[in-house]
Amino acid sequence: MTEPVDPELADLYRDFGAEHLVPLWTQLSDLMPMQPTPAAQAHVWRWRTLYPLAARAGDLVPVGRGGERRAIALANPGLSGKPYATPTLWAAIQYLGAHETAPEHRHSQNAFRFVIEGEGVWTVVNGDPVAMRRGDFLLTPGWNFHGHHNDSEHPMAWIDGLDIPFVHYTDAAFFEFGTERVTDEATPPVSRSERLWAHPGLRPLSGLQDTASSPIAAYRWEHTDRALTEQLLLEDEGQPATAGQGHAAVRYVNPTTGGDVMPTIRAEFHRLRAGAATEALREVGSSVWQVFEGRGAIVMDGLRQVVEKGDLIVLPSWTSWSIEAETGFDLFRFSDAPIFERLSFSRSYAERTGP
């Protein structure tokens, strides 16, 4: 705020300052804009850049108690160097070398992993070893103990998504250390949580209490792929199934409620046929996309960026976005949409073009 010329007003403003007071009228347009004016920027991180940097960290930085994880976070260029993809979401590449272990801990922050390539790591969630493989979406909801260990001769990298910025901003963070090694070093192909919960439309009688987060620790690629394949086949047969023309999409859900997998994070997988495109959309809330396979473009507030396997795209709130598929195009997406739905702030605006 510029210095007022009226000396009485200058006095008043100085007295305000001394008493920890700030007038609204000098701040209004910044505080309460006509529509969201995110400091965060739409930005693309390239897998071909990210992965080698993570590998260099693998050589130079040990993983263990204290640092806890060899995770390297996307730091939105608009957010002053903070390790935040958006004001609410954390997105990082995590890298674990052959036979390394990331020790167990738990925290109130909700976390997931998504695997773009590789295998050989088990994440152990509350004592349940969960294999990580390409295309899998894995959950570590708030306050579940978890560690990772690489049982293979090769390094493995994946994407971590959390609500760290939101929880930090709202002062809701709790953290506790667990064991240095994972509590169960078994390497089963599927987790106990899947064996109990990942059966379509079936709920164990031992699990009739609804839970805030999904009890399924791993959503396997084979199921996601099949669901998307079927949607496109149904579309071919003239049946309603897809989210839009040539655009198959599923949301990962909590089977105890049918709602989002975790209270603050929505996760989805999208598949576009070659040549398909989505209509431009603005939504309250931010999101992160990762290209899983194929090649296409994302248009962000009019700016077109070609992206391919592993690339990460960050979209701040109310950014106009659309996707255009050059080839068949598979994308993982996560967002903070549940926050806005549960607090009644959801809004979207579809910019329909053409007739």
* Window 162 to 201, contacts with a second copy (CB under 8 A): 164, 166-176, 192, 194-201
- 114 vs 333: CA distance, rounded Å: 10
Interacting residue with a second copy among 115, 249, 288, 300 (CB under 8 A) = 249
Q: How far is CA 338 from CA 106, 136, 149, 233, in A?
A: 22, 21, 31, 30
Rank residues 149 and 247 by Cβ distance to a second copy and give the closer one: 247
Q: Is the Cα torsion angle 316, 318, 320, 326 positive or negative in sign?
A: positive
Residue with tokens 């607090």, as numbered in its chain? 343
Beta-carbon-side half-sphere exposure of residue 168 (alpha carbons within 13 Å)? 12
Instruction: Give the span between the Cα atoms of 41 and 125, in whole angstroms.
Output: 34
**Least CB distance to a second copy at residue 22 (A):** 4
Query: Of 150 and 153, which CB lies nearer to a second copy in the complex structure?
Result: 150
Tell me the closest approach of the beta carbon of residue 350 to a second copy, in angstroms: 14
Nearest to 307 by CA among 287, 288, 324, 320: 324
Nearer to a second copy, 147 or 316 (CB): 316
Radius of gyration in angstroms for the set of CA atoms belonging to the chain, rounded to a whole number = 22
| Minimum separation from the CB atom of position 354 to a second copy (A) | 22
Tokens describing residue 11: 């006095």
CB of 109 to a second copy, least distance (A): 7
Options 113-121, 233-241, 301-309, 323-331: segment touching a second copy (CB under 8 A): 233-241
The yes or no reply on residue 202 touching a second copy (CB under 8 A) is yes
What is the footprint of a second copy within residues 17-76 (CB under 8 A)?
Answer: 17, 19-28, 31-38, 40, 43, 45, 49-50, 53, 56-57, 60-61, 66-76
Contact status: 242 vs a second copy (CB under 8 A): yes
Of 24 and 355, nearer to a second copy (C-beta) is 24
Which residue from 153, 189, 302, 343 is in contact with a second copy, where contact means CB under 8 A?
343
Sign of the torsion angle spanned by Cα atoms 73, 77, 81, 85: negative
List 97, 118, 178, 263, residue binding a second copy (CB under 8 A): 263
Length of the chain: 355
Q: CB–CB of 57/72 below 8 Å?
A: yes
**321-331: b (≥16 Cβ within 10 Å) or e:** bbbbbeebbbb
Q: Does 135 bind a second copy (CB under 8 A)?
A: no
Tell me the window of 116-124, 291-299, 310-318, 323-331 that interacts with a second copy (CB under 8 A). 310-318
Q: Are 314 and 74 in contact (CB under 8 A)?
A: yes
- Which C-beta is closer to a second copy: that of 164 or that of 280? 164
Asked if 345 interacts with a second copy (CB under 8 A), we say yes
Site string for a second copy, 105-134 (x = CB under 8 A): --xxx-------------------------
Residue recorded with tokens 């560690």 = 147
Q: Give the x/- contact pattern for a second copy in 74-93, rule: CB under 8 A.
A: xxxx---xxx---xx---x-
Q: Minimal CA–CA distance to 327: which of 342, 354, 307? A: 307
The nearest distance, CB 326 to a second copy, in angstroms, is 22
Count of chain residues binding a second copy (CB under 8 A): 133
Nearest 10 degrees: Cα torsion 19, 21, 25, 31: 160
Regarding 289 and contact with a second copy (CB under 8 A), the answer is no
Q: Provide DSSP, 289-331.
A: EEEEESEEEEEETTEEEEEETT-EEEE-TT--EEEEESSSEEE
Could you tell me if 194 and 139 are in contact, meaning their C-beta atoms sit under 8 angstroms apart? no
Q: Based on CB atoms, which residue is closest to a second copy, 43 or 149?
A: 43
Indicate which single residue of 210, 303, 304, 348 sits in contact with a second copy (rule: CB under 8 A): 210
The reply on whether position 316 binds a second copy by CB under 8 A is yes
- Smallest gap, in angstroms, from Cβ of residue 330 to a second copy? 14
